[in-house]
A and B are shown apart, each in its own frame.
Chain A
Amino acid sequence: MQTKTFVGVFDSGRAVLAAARAARGKGLIIRDAYTPFPVHGMDEALGLPPSWLSRACFALGAAGLTAALSFQYWVSLFNWPMNIGGKPFDASPALIPIAFEITVLVAGVGTVLTLLAFRGLLPGKPAAFSGLGATDDKFLLVLEGRPEAELQAFYREQGALRVEELAGGAR
């Protein structure tokens, strides 16, 4: 069966949040919500698990720290040991500033790139529902997988300004 996808357009964050909660309560399939700013409470309403990017960030930071420290040690101890006034070659405190900067650099830039790759944010990619005002002042809730009448009735009940149908499956 061709599944149909419907977009309900709401005029406030509270309205779309209430609609999403009601839809979840009714067991409707919520594909996504589109909002001009992050509506808090929507994570639970959509049933999303917490973002895993914090763990990615930690791993990237740890990788950056390890790389920066080991490279500096390799240079200072093995590849190019410099005797400066008889000071020790493994001058650990002096290696910390650069290790810290590289940690932050790799963790920061790496996490952003992970986000872009994971969510498919790429230059030239067409934006979904770009005509419906979700980047201005409208809030969209996208439901699917139920008969048209049921979804239409649900949106009306929740006070949607209007409802639009999308050709099956199109993002």
Chain B
Amino acid sequence: MSTNHVCALREPLIDGVADLGQVTRDVCDPLDQAPTVAWYGAFAAALCALSFGAVMVIHQVWTGIGAWGLNKTVGWSWDITNFVFWVGIGHAGTLISAILFLFRQKWRTSINRSAEAMTIFAVMCAGVFPLIHMGRPWLAYWVMPYPNPMGPLWVNFRSPLLWDVFAISTYFTISATFWFVGLIPDLATLRDRLPEGWRKRLFGLASLGWSGSHRTWQHYEMVYLLLAGLATPLVFSVHTIVSFDFATSVIPGWHATIFPPYFVCGAIFSGFAMVLTLMIIARKVMNFEGYITLRHIDAMCKVILLTSMIVGLAYSTELLTAYYSSNHYERFAFINRIRGPFAGFYWMMVFCNVLVPQTLWFERIRRDVRVLFVLSILINVGMWLERFVIITISLHRDYLPSSWTSYSPTYVEIGTFIGSFGLFFTCFLLFCRVLPMIAISEVKGVLHAD
């Protein structure tokens, strides 16, 4: 029976699921079964990539970051590109879990759990790059203001790089807290259906004695709302601060007031593409097609289309600003971008981020899972290129022609990037096997409303 009025023309959020017990079974049963061959294959590949990356990291910590292709002109390249790329991926998770919650978008319930997991793993991958870029990662705690015997000596609170430290660590902590709070009721569901044994005890510890008491639910819902309200400005602040790393400098191509909204939109754009990639795989492999329906995919495609157009607008605004500024250096930075030695990267970026998503105007494309899979990967390639274009192309030819140079990555940088994908997918595949991928209690609430 319906308690809310739902338009009859609308497809149901959850398809072919009869009752609450079935939701529990559908989400939890895969966790009790042995992993499939496909899972083992994917996990082995991810672990290989992770190990390769670990070897590369050890190598560059041992020899110093001279093992990278950086030089005195191009001081940031693959490392910071990868950092911004991964932080951006994370943003869609918070958007889905927090902003769509505030907008009461019920379709988020099927995908928010895995999107939040994606956020946490992506921020972990992002954190690796500045850490190893320090060269001496065992001194990483120096970026924190702590009382020390070196005289009055503190970090520089006026530095955007320090803002970044606070933004990323806060973002990671709040995302992990939000994720865990959402998990508590589902951990209790797992605990209650498991037979006696170490898994039951483990979930018993983790579920904190959750019993579904309404006196707790009442406060829990308030806390969830508050966290969503806090995470929403947080997610905007994080990529804004990441963009400050560039925008507060004097490099042509970086020094632009458009950067914060441009970066935030790009982050949501790339993050949604990554959610799409993961969900298309997950719904097939885990048999969640009744939960992650074509309606969910269609809604994600619309967000991608919107953010793609904002990103496209930002690209053209950058060009117009450069032209209209009458500033030689600014103009040159953009002429170099579109006609210089890295022009192929720029046009590939425009193709992937602006042209390809235009196909999403057509409903046929928005509901063709195979096409979307390719499209989502193209967008991620495009968004990685965007950061590379901004960072490397702006740096390699700046004010002083005598210091112009080129840049190419070494195998160490490429290997570290591959390793970060290994870390991401290793974590994500373990998550799929250990924790409920779909927020059971939230889906039950939506099932009831429909």
Contacts and interface: CB of A to CB of B under 8 A. Distances in A.
A145 interface: no
B128 interface: no
Nearest to B225: A54
A67 interface: no
B222 A54 contact: yes
A80 B152 contact: yes
B231 A128 contact: no
13 contacts: A14-B3, A36-B212, A43-B214, A43-B218, A101-B167, A123-B206, A124-B204, A124-B205, A124-B209, A135-B185, A136-B20, A137-B19, A137-B24
A53 to B, nearest CB: 5
B327 interface: no
A46 interface: yes
B298 interface: no
B174 A82 contact: no
Interface in B11-32: 19-21, 24
A51 B166 contact: no
Contacts of B181: 112
Contacts of B217: 35, 38, 42
Nearest to B226: A57
Interface of A: 12-14, 32-39, 42-43, 46, 48, 51, 53-54, 57, 61, 71-72, 75-76, 79-80, 82, 84, 91, 94-95, 97-98, 100-102, 104-105, 107-109, 111-112, 115-116, 118-131, 133-137, 140
List 5 A-B pairs, minimum CB-CB distance, nearest first. Answer: A125-B209, A137-B20, A51-B222, A121-B208, A37-B445
B342 interface: no
Contacts of B193: 136
Contacts of B133: none
B215 interface: yes
Contacts of B174: 104-105, 108-109
A122 B211 CA distance: 12
A79 B226 contact: no
B209 A97 contact: no
B219 interface: yes
B237 interface: yes
Given A121-B210, A123-B205, A125-B209, A104 B234 contact: yes
Nearest to A46: B214
Interface string B173-200: 1100110010011001101110000000
Given A42-B217, A84-B158, A136-B24, 19 more contacts: A12-B448, A34-B213, A35-B212, A35-B214, A36-B189, A37-B442, A37-B448, A38-B221, A53-B223, A54-B226, A76-B158, A95-B158, A97-B166, A98-B163, A102-B170, A105-B173, A121-B184, A122-B208, A137-B24
A127 B442 CA distance: 20
Interface residues of B, number: 66
Contacts of A126: 204, 209
Contacts, number: 198
Contacts of B145: 71, 75
B156 interface: yes
B214 A34 contact: yes
B216 A80 contact: no
B19 to A, nearest CB: 6
A97 B245 CA distance: 12
Of A35, A38, A76, A131, which is in contact with the most chain B CB atoms at under 10 Å from its CB? A38
B171 to A, nearest CB: 8
B207 interface: yes
Contacts of A137: 19-21, 24, 444
B223 A111 contact: yes
Given A36-B20, A104-B233, A116 B208 contact: yes
B191 to A, nearest CB: 7
B218 A79 contact: no
